[in-house]
Structure 1
Amino acid sequence: MLDTYHLQRLHGNLTHYINDLGPYVGHVQISQVPDRDCPVGEGEINHNYALKQISRVYDGYVGLEYKSGSICVLISYDKSSDSFVWLNQFKDL
């Protein structure tokens, strides 16, 4: 599994690991750093860029991870639906 949250938190240089681990990826899970919040919005990871890189090595499903109690879940349910709208732009990669 390629987990953008843990790769970025533990190692940084996400693009390097996407390319290096690409042949071994069976699932992708994305979340924002540092708070494991919505992939859309503020944080360390530019998921627009990361998903384009991931699409070069992986063509399966992508899971969206949200930490229980995250701003995405507690403050605005719309942010969760916004994530799915945002993710839809990558369906043809």
Structure 2
Amino acid sequence: MTDTDPLVPVLAGLVVDIVWFLDSCEDDEVDPDSAVKMMESVSWVLTRLPQDQRDRFLKVLSDLAEAEQDPGRREFLEAFPFAGGLVEEEPEASGRAKV
């Protein structure tokens, strides 16, 4: 099942891509302290979503990961909920997400 509002998956994907960029960029591209602060800010906001919105976000991430063709992005999407503190259990094939 996919989300009924087409904007939600797009925005969820953008959040993940921004965090992925910050996680993988070199020190000369983005100041490491700034990158960590931004990733912590994203995590803080997402963990404060009401449970129904958090569940919706997690479902959208799952749908995006299932449909993703790029193995690296799929792995990051799968690891994102645990790395961002949205779930307590790490997925079996965890990626590099360090939100």
Query: After TM superposition, is the score higher than 0.5?
Result: no
Q: Which has the higher strand share?
A: 1
TM (norm. structure 1) is 0.33
TM (norm. structure 2) is 0.32
Q: Which has the higher helix share?
A: 2
